[in-house]
Amino acid sequence: MFFETSPHNKKRHKDVKLTRTQLPPPKAVTLCSPFELTGVLTQIIDIECYPNYFMLGIKYLEIDQYAFFEIYNARSQNSSQDIYSFNGTIVDFSNWRDLVSFLLHRFLSVGFNSLYYDLPIIFEALKGSPTQKLKEYSNDIIYDRKKAGRSNYKLNHIDIMEVAPLHDGLKTYAGRIHAPRMQELPYHHEQILSEQEVYYVRSYNVNDLDNTGLLYSELKGQIRLREKLGQRYSLDLRSKSDAQVAEAVIQSELNKVGIRARPPTIQPGALFHYRVPDFIQFKTPQLQHVLDVVRQTPFEIGIDGSANTPKAIRSLKIKIGQTDYQMGNGGLHSKEECVAYFATDDLKIIDRDVESYYPRIILNQNLFPEHLGAAFSVVFNNLVELRLDCKTKAKKYKLENNIDMTTYWDEESSSLKISINGIFGKHGNKYSIVYSPQLVTQVTVSGQLQLFMLIEDLSLAGFNVISANTDGIVTLVPTNRKAEFDEICSLWEKQTGFKTEETNYEALLMKDVNNYLAMY
């Protein structure tokens, strides 16, 4: 992110060999005695695994102290036994095992990719497996994640990898959150380590513990929302992504009505057509032609399980007023480049976004995955209505200046939003119980056509729509015509069953539709 990553430079950096004196100096840390730990603590965990060395590092966030559990095999002629140690003191295996197990079960533990990597290897180490076997198991997981499976140990544990939004490595997140120090593994993971080299690997582990702790602190808001939703549905959702949260909630609710859902099998190459709702109609020949093309063109299921946008639709050239538009899998997009708009006393820049656009399309058209039937609609509608009720209560308490209750219902609403919005992402995943590429296409194409209806009405009335994205449009509105603009939007809302939110900009500076600066 902050450095050149072209193939040429990657090769050049790989060839550089750091000597021990060039490695960054280790951070001074305070080691803890586990027998003196009291209260509610959060322990960050991370492991290192080499052919002759294993380390479990723990950082206790609240007291900024560390604990190191290590296994080392010198692989010399005089000794080939694994040596177990805690904070540098040699202990026998049974004491080492009991102490690790005690700490893991006593406090909340947090890791990064820990459910699929760290925890399986830690519990393998607790069986007494030698360092070489631990390393082989580590390689198996790295090169084939299925070799580990998701660990189901009865621990109070959070894996923050899926909660984090980028689906990237810890080093990337460390850069994003401006961690004080970023460090790569000091020695190749297949190297036989000397005692001096172990010293630097331990330092590297400390840095990863620090950065994992920083990332956990950044994600506490998202984790708190998952805790609230988990309490509502009696599920542990703390280690799940938004889409995984949604699937778990839907599966739980379907189970309550007696449906044991399984992903459907839809073969690549299967064809289907978009079903045009009766209310989608156009006034101009151009958009009437667009609608005819969309109605007549078949969609095909690709190898990845998603429905590909047909070339006939993707290549449509659509120009309304002064703005060009393109349809696609990801929604409607205008094609403006390098433009700037500034509001004046006589001209407003107004952004109209549709509230809960995709969920509302699903409800308005009564859409559901065919293999789940109408039961899905009941469950999904209940989630949406429950969230709306939470939002209403939050507004009520806000008017009463009751900060605590406002915060409570705002968080309830936000937690449900995670589930509602995440469900749509799972509709496109062929391994999901709610997989339905036809539903995805019905929603995304409907969303684009319905926005075209609003854009067409505004354009025919003489308004200049300057930008459009998946769920909204930006329009230049003369101040003396604001009431007329509102009336057109209101009629569209009644016709389609949507509600829009309005935002006024002082300026809109656009490189393109995905890269812009909006000044409120």
Give the bridge partners for 128, in sequence order: none
Q: State the pTM of this model.
A: 0.79
Q: How far apart are CA 279 and CA 295, in angstroms?
A: 14
Question: Would you report the helix, strand and coil content of the chain in percent, each value rounded to 5?
Answer: 45, 20, 35
Which secondary structure element, helix H or strand E, spans residue 509, and what is its range? Answer: strand 507-512
The encoded tokens of residue 99 equal 């102490």
- For residue 518, the Cα-to-chain-centroid distance in whole angstroms is 24
Phi-psi region of 167 (alpha: psi -120 to 50; beta: other; left: phi over 0): left
Helix H segments across 236-373?
242-256, 285-296, 311-314, 357-364
Q: What is the pLDDT of residue 213?
A: 97
φ, ψ dihedrals at 291, nearest 5°? -60, -40
Q: How far apart are CA 189 and CA 185, in angstroms?
A: 8
pLDDT in tens, the chain (520 residues): 222 333 334 343 444 454 545 667 777 889 988 888 888 999 999 999 999 999 999 999 999 999 999 999 987 645 578 999 999 999 999 999 999 999 999 999 999 999 999 999 999 999 999 999 999 999 999 887 666 655 567 899 999 999 998 888 999 999 999 999 999 999 999 999 999 999 999 999 999 999 999 999 999 999 998 998 899 889 999 999 988 998 999 899 888 888 888 999 999 999 999 999 999 999 999 999 999 999 999 999 999 999 989 999 999 999 999 899 999 877 888 887 889 999 999 999 999 999 889 999 999 999 999 999 888 998 898 888 888 899 899 999 999 999 999 999 998 898 888 888 888 889 999 999 999 999 999 999 999 999 999 999 999 999 999 999 889 999 999 999 999 999 999 999 999 999 999 999 999 998 877 788 999 8
Using alpha carbons only, what angle is made at residue 192 by residues 186 and 198, rounded to the nearest 5 degrees?
A: 50
The single-letter code of the amino acid at 427 is H
Q: What is the pLDDT of residue 143?
A: 86
Give the bridge partners for 318, in sequence order: 325
459 near 288, Cβ under 8 Å? Answer: no
Return all residues near 44 (Cβ < 8 A) that are at least 6 apart.
58, 59, 60, 61, 109, 110, 111, 209, 212, 213, 216
Q: How far apart are CA 123 and CA 82, in angstroms?
A: 17
Q: What is the pLDDT of residue 122?
A: 96
Q: What is the pLDDT of residue 307?
A: 93
**Residue appearing with tokens 């890269």:** 515
φ, ψ dihedrals at 280, nearest 5°? -85, 105
The encoded tokens of residue 9 equal 């430079």
Task: Write the burial class of residue 412 (CB in 10 Å: 0-12 exposed, 13-18 middle, 19+ buried).
Answer: buried
Q: Quick one: which of 174, 245, 250, 248 has its CA closest to 216? A: 174
Q: Quick one: which of 435, 426, 439, 436 has its CA closest to 245? A: 426
Q: What is the pLDDT of residue 113?
A: 94
Which 8-state DSSP code applies to residue 298?
Answer: P
Q: How far apart are CA 325 and CA 327, in angstroms?
A: 7
Q: What is the pLDDT of residue 54?
A: 97
Q: How far apart are CA 491 and CA 512, in angstroms?
A: 30
Q: What is the pLDDT of residue 149?
A: 58
Q: What is the pLDDT of residue 512?
A: 79
Q: Quick one: which of 281, 506, 458, 358 has its CA closest to 466? A: 458
Q: How far apart are CA 88 and CA 104, in angstroms?
A: 20
- For residue 136, the Cα-to-chain-centroid distance in whole angstroms is 31
Q: How far apart are CA 18 and CA 186, in angstroms?
A: 8
273 near 291, Cβ under 8 Å? Answer: no
Q: What is the pLDDT of residue 81?
A: 87
Q: What is the pLDDT of residue 257?
A: 82
Q: Quick one: which of 81, 127, 501, 518 has its CA closest to 339? A: 518
Q: How far apart are CA 399 and CA 177, in angstroms?
A: 36
Which secondary structure element, helix H or strand E, spans residue 324, and what is its range? Answer: strand 323-326
Which 8-state DSSP code applies to residue 190?
Answer: T
